[in-house]
Structure 1
Amino acid sequence: MTTLVTPTGRFLGQWPSNSPEWYAARAHRIGGSDIAAIVRLSKWQSRYALWCEKTGLVEPDPPNSQQSRGHFLEPGVANWFAYQHPDVEVVEAGTWTHVDPERDWQLANPDRLLVRDGQVVAGLEIKTDVDGRDWGKPGTDEIPLYYLTQVRWYMDVLGLDEWWVAVLGSHLEFSEYVIHPDIDDTLYLRDAAEEFLRSIAWDEMPTIDGHDATYRTVRKLHPLINSGEKFALPDDLAAEVLPALAEEKSAKEAAQKARAKLLAAMGNASHAYWDEEPVARRQAKGEGTPYLVVEKNLPAIPELLGAAA
């Protein structure tokens, strides 16, 4: 493994996913899944949640069932691709950074590398997707933006001009796609990553959004419940979150953002009130992370509708 060379990559090592060594290599660097969160394209991670993880405020979430499924099926998809492409050797990749010391913060943890005559000629990313709605015609570069961002990042780190994506999709059908560099995308991603790293250095926390990962992160930031402590919502926060919470069924993302903002404002308080009327309470199941329970009958606030302007 250590004899492999890529045009701009520096090999760090090969460790199991989610191992202590794997996390240590990623701690202060930006990887392929990270960059998708930074540019707000990740369905798994939010910019806010990633910032809190990189600064050590919270621990990363464990892999969910869909991510675990992909991990277990990965060898089979790799074998299928190797069968389809006998002209290349499909090898495990390990973890890499950019060879330029000033860009050591760029990390790549590809699924596989493709080797021909002892030379790395391309990369391979392996996916499983039972939905398949965002995939275009096989053989093209029409893949979901989240995965395209990840692949373009890896290409920039390793300096490779070709990257394949092998997919096990719905009805257990195999497909493959091929991606080539795009300089505009590459520079955009690099700039976004550097801006994100500056926000960490300057302690500028991203704004709360409606991503599920943001809500989970805010829950982890306040693991205690001070029984009996009441939080009085300021008028501007009440004007922002109460209408969204009241329309939760029709505007779920806005409601999730409101929940996260309210949780963050409450801190460790057990109850939230506005104008002495109950709004929400924080609860926990056993030793679990506290979550927000919104009261069924929220106070009407027509007089506050302009407060958030």
Structure 2
Amino acid sequence: MAAIETPTGVLLGRFEPGSPEWEQARGGLVVTATEIAAVMSLSPWQSRFSLWHKKAGLPTPPFEVTPAVEWGNRLEVAVAQKWMEEHQDTEDVEPAGTWRHSDRPWQIATPDQIFMPLTGWMIAPGQLPQLLEVKTSPFGDGWGPDGSDEIPVHYRCQIQWQLDTLGLKTCHVALLVSGHDYREYRIEYDQADAELMRKAAREFLDDVAAGIRPPIDSSDATHQTIRRQPEGREDVDVEIPGPLRDRYFTALDGSKAATAELLGAKSQVLDAIGNGRRAVCLGETVATRTVRDGKTHSLQPAKNRSTT
């Protein structure tokens, strides 16, 4: 398969995700498109703290292949095929592979697909390749209407990093929501965002090289990373400062009250929904009720929510 040329991208190869070759191409002191959101503290899966430990070669929680991840991977081919059926004005839609920037070898991207758009069934002179990203979502939280450029911010970071790495201007996104709601988005390159992320990534890698650890935040990724650092246990007492003790005890007391309040609120919302699917207020989704074997399984809050 002949590689499509890009202005600033150097193709490292097309590797099976998770293979030793794939890991090697993305390893070391580099920032990939799936990691840049964590560098910017915008990732729902990684924190800047957890990514720093990974890059420093320290223990981090293993990647978990959840049912959502598994089925997202399985459906990717079908969703990409749907996009290609809707867009016959393309040439050579193919797996993009793993790329690095020609002048910044620490900038890595592995887009889903790359293709040449056609003009009158021909490739126009000077025409740049374009990218296609395929996503799935259970509820569509954070995704705007079909045809817009409203996508979750962590995916926007990923796409801007891909475009900046390869020197391209346009990325299309094919999304499948709830297994049946197909949508398309078009994202254009934003130079200001790219420069901001580049600067943050370079500073992050410099901190890794210098051993400067990021501050501890309140994310689960950071908590799970800290849990994996100690090896074994010594029967010793460790003195901690008074303010840290007070913060811990205050948080414990507050969490008990918050847990009780949340449980009561969830019960009232579920009671109001009855056998319905969603709770809405003034046209906006508040929460979604999931069902297993005919009974309520869980109440999933909307990610984008507001109070009045």
TM over 0.5, yes or no? Answer: yes
1:116-139 superposed Cα distances (whole Å, 9 cap, x missing partner) = 467762001111111212111211
1:247-282 superposed Cα distances (whole Å, 9 cap, x missing partner) = 225669xxxxxxxxxxxxxxxxxxxxxxxxxxxxxx
Is this contact kept in 2: 1:4–1:120, CA < 8 A?
no
Kindly indicate whether residue 36 of structure 2 is the aligned counterpart of residue 29 of structure 1.
no
**Match in the other structure for 2:252:** 245
Kindly indicate whether residue 98 of structure 2 is the aligned counterpart of residue 95 of structure 1.
yes
**Match in the other structure for 1:233:** 240
Partners of 2:22 and 2:84 in 1: how far apart? Answer: 26
Matches within 5 A, 1:180-259: 180-226=188-234, 228-249=235-256
Give how far 1:242 is off.
Answer: 2.2
Compare 196-205 and 13-22 and name the one that shifted more.
Answer: 13-22
Partners of 2:238 and 2:136 in 1: how far apart? Answer: 44
**AA aligned opposite 1:46:** S
Q: State the structure with bigger RCO (CA 8 A, min sep 6), 1 or 2.
A: 2
Of 74, 84, 87, 1:85 maps to 87
**Match in the other structure for 2:47:** 46
The DSSP-based 3-state class of the residue aligned with 2:115 is strand
Question: What 5-or-longer segments of structure 1 have no aligned partner?
Answer: 253-309
**AA aligned opposite 2:101:** H
1:85-126 superposed Cα distances (whole Å, 9 cap, x missing partner) = 1111321011000011xx111001001112246776200111
Partners of 1:87 and 1:183 in 2: how far apart? Answer: 27
**Match in the other structure for 1:299:** none
Of 59, 77, 86, 1:75 maps to 77
Partners of 2:100 and 2:160 in 1: how far apart? Answer: 14
Give how far 1:171 is off.
Answer: 4.9
Kindly indicate whether residue 127 of structure 2 is the aligned counterpart of residue 127 of structure 1.
no
**Could you say if the C-alpha distance between residues 56 and 175 of structure 1 is closer, same or farther in structure 2, counting changes exceeding 3 Å?**
same
**Match in the other structure for 2:20:** 20
Q: How many residues align?
A: 249
Is this contact kept in 2: 1:136–1:142, CA < 8 A?
yes
Kindly indicate whether residue 161 of structure 2 is the aligned counterpart of residue 159 of structure 1.
no
**AA aligned opposite 2:183:** S
Compare 166-175 and 198-207 and name the one that shifted more.
Answer: 166-175
**Could you say if the C-alpha distance between residues 208 and 15 of structure 1 is closer, same or farther in structure 2, counting changes exceeding 3 Å?**
same
Question: What 5-or-longer segments of structure 2 have no aligned partner?
Answer: 260-308
Is this contact kept in 2: 1:78–1:90, CA < 8 A?
no
Give how far 1:69 is off.
Answer: 2.4
- TM-score, scaled to structure 2: 0.76
Compare 39-48 and 81-90 and name the one that shifted more.
Answer: 81-90
**Could you say if the C-alpha distance between residues 105 and 241 of structure 1 is closer, same or farther in structure 2, counting changes exceeding 3 Å?**
same
- TM-score, scaled to structure 1: 0.76
The DSSP-based 3-state class of the residue aligned with 1:32 is coil
**Matched-pair identity in %:** 39
Give how far 1:71 is off.
Answer: 1.6
**Match in the other structure for 2:292:** none
CA RMSD of aligned residues (A): 1.9
**Match in the other structure for 1:9:** 9
**Match in the other structure for 1:148:** 156
**Could you say if the C-alpha distance between residues 216 and 60 of structure 1 is closer, same or farther in structure 2, counting changes exceeding 3 Å?**
closer
**Match in the other structure for 2:302:** none
Is this contact kept in 2: 1:90–1:114, CA < 8 A?
yes
Is this contact kept in 2: 1:244–1:251, CA < 8 A?
no
Is this contact kept in 1: 2:4–2:129, CA < 8 A?
no
Partners of 1:57 and 1:244 in 2: how far apart? Answer: 28
